Amino acid sequence: MQFLKLNNSLRILCIRLILKEIKLKMSKRKKTKVELLIDVLRDGAWHLGDELAIKVGYPFADAINKARTLGYEIETAWAGVGRKHKYRLIAV
């Protein structure tokens, strides 16, 4: 209620300060596993599952599935080392 009693210039200043604080909080938020995954795969190179487990977190299969539903084309192939897979981002 007190906000409405302020003159227009003070209201605008308050709104700007609130928006600045929101922007600051948003920039400090933790990245999702999907965002971390895309950050790693963005270079288009092959990445082993072990690397993704370290950089994205284990398990990361759900992040791959969510990224695919968001339209990211992620290729999966055998790495040829034991029973490991490798992954790369083909297209967005």
Q: What is the CATH number of the domain that holds 70?
A: 1.10.10
In Å, how far are 9, 20, 31, 47 from 64, measured between CA atoms? 48, 33, 15, 13
pLDDT at 17 over 70: yes
Report if residue 18 sits inside a domain: no
Owning domain of residue 53: 31-91
pLDDT at 7 over 80: no
Domain annotation covers residue 49: yes
Instruction: Look at residue 7 and tell me if it is in a domain.
Output: no
Report how many domains make up the chain: 1
Is residue 50 in a domain? yes
Is residue 42 included in any domain, yes or no? Answer: yes
User: Do residues 51 and 40 lie in contact, with contact meaning Cβ atoms separated by under 8 Å?
Assistant: yes
Q: In this structure, is residue 48 part of a structural domain?
A: yes
Residue 24 lies in a domain: no
Does residue 11 fall inside a structural domain?
no
Beta-bridged to residue 77, according to DSSP, are 86
pTM above 0.75, yes or no: no
pLDDT above 80 for 82: no
